[in-house]
Amino acid sequence: MNQHYFLVAAALLSFQYANADSPDSDSCLNDTCVEYNLSGDMPDAESSIADSCMVLTACDAEQGGYGRRNEERSLFEEVTDIKKKTDAFNLYLNMQGDFNALWRGNTFSEGKFRMKQLRIEMTGQINDWLSYRYRQRLNKGDDPAGYRDNVLGSIDYAMIGITLGKWQFFLGKQCAAYGGIEFNLNPIEVLENTAITDYMSNFMTGVRAAYNFTPRQQLQFQVLNSLVGSSESMYGNWKKSKMPLLYTLNWNGDFNNFYKTKWSVSFMNETKGKNLTYFALGNEFNFTDNFGAFLDWAYTRQAVDRMGLVTKMVCPDGAEYNTTNVDYMSAIFHIHYRFHPAWNVFAKAIYDYSGIYKSHDGLEKGTYCNSWGYLGGIEYYPFKDRTLHFYAAYIGRSYNYTDRAKAFGNKDYCTNSLSVGFIWQMPVF
């Protein structure tokens, strides 16, 4: 029987590595381009589960009232009718696929089937103090030149967790401990991201320490590599920092399951003498067992434009150096109501801001782009205790450039799309 377990895992890992070099359909600083909606493809966002529950291990379930992993029999158990007796090895396949019809303004662009998310994930609790987590995107290509941390960019997690009483430590490649309710959901649960989530680097290598004051109050401190590629490819020809690191302080709170917080403040060394600050506040409200909402707010001020959006607005033909003194803000309001055990409706509004906070090199201080997103849909859960669900949703985005940005040739535009698909974190073993 042990040989059979091994063969199941080996077959899936073979599939994983056979697909790891597939070309990435999105291209830019962080897997995207400025006008990604023109193609109808959503960026391969690096939003993630930040493993920030109160009793935390590297193989914890997804957190938050919306998108929580449920207990269910694995595919192996369903096929063999043999109950798995250990938690040392768990294998999942995270999937989100749909048929998407896209309009630019009132003009129909295209309709196509997409596999937006496909990630293999392995987690395990070896004993009462040691755990591990591994997750890799199967539909994301990798740079053959490699990375500063010597880990492929398609790998989200490759880490171990150590629990010592109220203290926990996580070593290896992991998610940045940014705040935000939506940021901490499983990526397959998110249909449309903010610009900050899409363009900020979210998976990096380093160390994280967490202290659980109570079962409902936790503080985390994290240090990660800030570079996910070469300094030149990310910032242009600015002089490289000798200590390009990201420092994050994170607070996760739970007040009687009615109000939950995921707040963070981050500081990053970008290039020599240039730094980035990032604030993220996530607030979740569970009014009843079936009715809830969350409000996320994020703001980043970047001495050198790490996200690259303002640089592309003011340098449409390319630039030797990314522009400086930029800031971005995002806000999300999400509400959902499960009106039947098998049916859920939801709506979401997104606001994105891009600007320059200090005039320089002929670039005026102020707003350069305001973007709005609006979503609404319905979900059907065919099984009571399973994460498999089907959905139908409308997604609209509008991009409004100010006169400052229009002086460089930017034009307002909007997109509308209808999406019908499925989401499943399939337990393979």
Stretch (H or E) spanning 247: strand 245-255
Q: Whole-angstrom Cα distance, residue 400 to residue 106?
A: 16
Closest CA to 31 of 39, 20, 42, 15: 42
Angular region, 313: left φ>0, alpha ψ -120 to 50, beta rest: alpha
Q: Whole-angstrom Cα distance, residue 308 to residue 30?
A: 9
376: burial class by Cβ within 10 Å (0-12, 13-18, 19+)? middle
Residue type at 3 in one-letter notation: Q
Residues 312, 369 contacting (CB under 8 angstroms): no
Paired strand residues for 282: 262, 296
- pLDDT by residue for the chain (429 residues), tens only, comes to 444 444 434 444 443 333 333 333 333 333 333 333 323 333 444 443 334 333 333 333 333 333 334 457 776 676 666 677 778 999 999 999 999 999 998 899 999 999 999 999 999 999 999 999 999 999 887 876 667 788 888 999 999 999 999 999 999 999 999 999 999 999 999 999 999 999 999 999 999 999 999 999 999 999 999 998 889 989 999 999 999 999 999 999 999 999 999 999 999 999 999 999 999 999 999 999 999 999 999 999 999 999 999 999 999 888 899 999 999 999 999 999 999 999 999 999 999 999 999 999 999 999 999 999 999 999 999 988 778 999 999 999 999 999 999 999 999 999 999 999 999 999 988
For the whole model, what pTM was predicted?
0.83
pLDDT at 195: 96
Residues 425, 406 contacting (CB under 8 angstroms): no
Q: How many CB atoms lie within 10 A of CB 115?
A: 12
Q: What stretches of 282-423 show up as alpha helix (H) in DSSP?
A: 309-314, 403-406
Q: Whole-angstrom Cα distance, residue 38 to residue 374?
A: 17
Q: Whole-angstrom Cα distance, residue 250 to residue 52?
A: 9
Closest CA to 158 of 123, 118, 112, 195: 123
To 10 degrees, the CA torsion angle through 177, 181, 301, 146? 50
To 10 degrees, the CA torsion angle through 43, 44, 45, 50? 170
**Three-point CA angle 342, 87, 49, nearest 5°:** 55
Residue type at 124 in one-letter notation: G
Closest CA to 163 of 125, 201, 109: 125
Please name the residue that has the structure tokens 């400052």. Answer: 404
> Within 13 Å and on the Cβ side, how many CA atoms surround 354?
28
Three-class SS state of 186 = coil
Residues 389, 383 contacting (CB under 8 angstroms): no
- Phi, psi angle pair for 396, to nearest 5°: -125, 145
Give the tokens for residue 139: 């539909």
CA of residue 400 relative to chain centroid, distance: 25
pLDDT at 217: 96
Q: Whole-angstrom Cα distance, residue 428 to residue 75?
A: 5
Residues 212, 253 contacting (CB under 8 angstroms): no
Paired strand residues for 360: 363
Give the tokens for residue 380: 């059907």
Q: What stretches of 178-308 show up as alpha helix (H) in DSSP?
A: 195-199, 231-235
Give the tokens for residue 120: 């293999």
Give the tokens for residue 171: 């070593």
Closest CA to 179 of 264, 271, 97: 264
Q: Whole-angstrom Cα distance, residue 424 to residue 422?
A: 7
